[in-house]
Structure 1
């Protein structure tokens, strides 16, 4: 338990490290800072510089605390794969350390391929999580957590296996899209969004199909 609390403290500190860069660059920052880009790399969201420079790290901090505390006090924590739990523990602080500095540097004129960077990060995260997802047992924080998977361990295992394979495959597609810097938009819809919807919807109906098939046997 003490080790886990140290992890929460350390990851929280890492989430706030970009504050140092914000202090260094603050006078050079424009009054409005771009903080969101669409899949075509076009800016579609701004924040006042004080909020972007000092508020965003706090947002990552709050998400990190919520995630880590939820993982730590999950009543079925023993079902969480240690490797996957470690990935989730460190995902938010690492994202904060990458995306916030990139956002600040871009605001002062340094060119960074933000779309490619985002797609690469999301692709890698999907691949890594998808690789460990089939190893998870029933728990309240990780995996495809719907009524039918909780109802039956075999349903849980099969559903999370297919979801994990889909995440790995989808992650590779997203990663390649980011690496090749292609315009990953299909009829105005982000490739990341499309793949995420498929990863959510297909395992959902697959799990229901398994549940219904098993119930019809009785």
Structure 2
């Protein structure tokens, strides 16, 4: 991917995270929260350090570089470039979620009662809703989209499966947002349930659609004459 074509918004968010972290660093307590359980309670802490405070900005920067180089390894790189608006949108959504998590982590360092679980669920849900509404625009490739052998072998199967996957992602995103206000552990169970449910639904749908379009490939091989007559 040409660096000049890469979106600027993720870089702005990454820079803002580093600046905000530098400003907040001297005022942070000696220990900061690093993990929350399903109930939204802090269950892991770390000593204040560059690595613990700037983990999200560093991860976001690494994601930006990864998104820049991933298309070079895709056999269908041309289709990734044809879908670059959605590709860039994914990068912006992921960076935005990491920025929100970073802000929540800093707030929780000063106020351990901050509901980090709700922030993560709402942010993840919004990401799924937006992504789901654009998934159907992605061209066949090995980098993003609903990628099965069936979808990668037939463009019509790819388009229809990704449209279905997009609708399921959008609906699941709304459900994830609602889960932010459902008590644990039901919220996590519901969210994981629909995420895991999408896989078999889209897989079976794409397989059946491919079989309908290519019945000749699914027919059993015909036995040769010698096997049919019992001859040597």
Residues 78/27 of structure 1: CA separation in 2 closer, same or farther (3 Å cut): closer
Distance 2:107 2:52 in 1: 12
Corresponding residue number in structure 1 for 2:43:
44
- Please report the TM-score for the alignment, with normalisation by the length of structure 2: 0.78
Instruction: Give the aligned partner of residue 94 of structure 1.
Output: 96
Query: Is residue 148–residue 207 contact of structure 1 (8 Å, CA) maintained in 2?
Result: yes
Distance change (3 Å), C-alpha of 1:35 and 1:191: farther
The equivalent residue for 2:60 is 60
Contact 2:57 2:99 in 1 (8 A): no
Aligned to 1:134: 136
How far apart are the structure 1 equivalents of 2:3 and 2:25?
37
- Provide the rounded CA distance (Å) in 2 between the counterparts of 1:81 and 1:26: 36
Bigger Rg over Cα: 2
Q: Hey, what's the Cα distance between the residues in 2 that align with 1:110 and 1:172?
A: 27
Deviation at 1:111, TM superposition (A): 4.5
Structure 2 Cα separation of the partners of residues 156 and 199 of structure 1: 15
SS in 1 for 2:46: strand
Higher alpha-carbon deviation: 132-141 or 142-151: 132-141
Q: Which runs of 5+ in 2 are unaligned?
A: 218-232
Counterpart CA distance in 2 for 1:46 and 1:208 is 46
State the distance in 2 between where 1:24 and 1:163 align: 42
The number of aligned residues is 212
TM-score (norm. length: structure 1): 0.83
- Displacement of 1:152 in angstroms is 0.5
3-state SS of 1:17 partner: helix
> Following superposition of structure 1 onto structure 2, how do residues 187-198 of structure 1 map, counting pairs within 5 Å?
189-198=188-197
Q: Deviations over 1:22-42 (max 9, x none)?
A: 222223323332222233212
C-alpha RMSD of the superposition:
2.6
What displacement does 1:71 show?
Answer: 4.8
Q: Which runs of 5+ in 1 are unaligned?
A: none
The structure showing larger relative contact order (alpha-carbon pairs under 8 Å, at least 6 residues apart) is 1
Change (3 A) 1:202 1:14: same
* Contact 2:36–2:43 (CA under 8 A) maintained in structure 1: yes
